[in-house]
Chains A and B, each alone.
Chain A
Amino acid sequence: MPIALGKASRVLRVLLLSGKEYVCLMHLHKDISEDIIRKELNAYIGKITQLPPVKSAVKRVHRQREIYYIDIIEIDGRDVLFRIGCQAGTYIRKICFDFGKKLNMGANMQELIRTKAGPFNEKEIYSLQDLQEAFLLYSQERKEKELRKIVKPVEFAVKHLPKIWVHDSAVNSICHGIDLSIPGISKLESDIKENDLIAVLTLKNELVCIGNSLLTSEDIIKNDKGKVLKTERVFLDSDLYPKWKKDTV
């Protein structure tokens, strides 16, 4: 599970909107051939429509979600273990329930673990014990190496977002709530679409803000003026960077 420290807690919103991967153990209520299980479960890959469960934090209306991949790890009688990559806001419990309904037998989610949330994944997780030991090495022996492996800068949480780098002179205005315009941009990544969530960085790769793009990468390259994005959240403290002066970049 991702935890954000101090000011970085503002970045957690990004994770809510990011793709996820889970490993799920589903239990079927009747016997059925493996072939049918494989065929029917793989049919969920792509766009699906689901009604959020009764106990859920969102409004109960049908909504479309995308399943990016399903990998069946093991089938043992009525127990099906699978890995699933999906869009944010997909209910896996509901997938199990709907799967059972589709096969006229009933099914339920037995166990669920999350293996990816945006840039965070199961390959790089630590236990509370690891954290404790690393912190003691740091606080008692001034050895930072272990703690640095575990505690990552806030920028790590946005590394999966498309990026725009801004000139030093544009940084402070953004910190004060001014939306970024094209002249403020030094570099940008390709394939930005309208309404994508974007990470805005300084040329030192510090996270300035996140926001939703109003333009595509092509629009930004072709044009010399225009608002680029609607700032959603600012991360960098204001007045670290100098105030904008006319005729400076």
Chain B
Amino acid sequence: MELPFEKKQRKVYTKKESQTNLEYGISPEDRTITELLNNGVICLNKPQGPSSHQITEYAKNILEVGKAGHGGTLE
């Protein structure tokens, strides 16, 4: 069972070929853990009981990050 975007196969068109300069910017897969912890996403199994907000707080404490937000409660 797939959501519409999971079924969709998109083609990639080239409008104008160009190269990227490696002196600036960084590919997602080359980022350091610190960079990921300041600009990343995780998906946790939410146990019953604690609220989404509490789980987010736990995750923040574990990862020692200053800021985190969750993607909406169930209802």
Tell me the A residues contacting B by CB distance below 8 Å. 1-9, 11-12, 15-16, 18-21, 56, 68-69, 71, 83, 85, 91-93, 112-114, 116-118, 120-121, 124-128, 131-132, 135, 138, 144, 147-148, 150-157, 160-163, 167-168, 171, 182-183, 185-191, 202-206, 217, 220-221, 235-236, 240-242, 249
Contact = CB atoms under 8 A, between A and B. Distances in A.
Contacts of A240: 24-25
Given A131-B63, A153-B28, A5 B43 contact: no
A16 B72 contact: yes
Interface string B1-25: 1111110101111111111111011
Contacts, number: 225
Interface residues of B, number: 58
B69 to A, nearest CB: 4
Contact of A204 (B17, B20, B46, B59): B20
A74 B14 CA distance: 48
Contacts of B74: 112-114
A12 B69 CA distance: 8
Given A135-B62, A203-B19, A206-B26, A148 B41 contact: no
A240 to B, nearest CB: 6
A188 B12 contact: yes
B21 A9 contact: no
Contacts of B27: 204-206
A229 B25 CA distance: 23
Which interface residue of A93, A154, A161 has the most chain B CB atoms within 10 A?
A154
Contact of A6 (B11, B38, B47): B38
A42 to B, nearest CB: 13
A73 B50 CA distance: 28
Given A5-B68, A190-B11, A191-B10, 16 more contacts: A2-B70, A3-B70, A6-B40, A7-B39, A9-B69, A113-B74, A127-B47, A135-B62, A150-B42, A151-B37, A157-B41, A185-B16, A186-B18, A187-B12, A187-B14, A235-B39
A218 B15 CA distance: 11
A69 B1 contact: yes
Nearest to A111: B48
Contacts of A160: 5-6
A113 B20 CA distance: 43
A128 to B, nearest CB: 6
Contacts of A128: 44, 47, 55, 58-59, 62
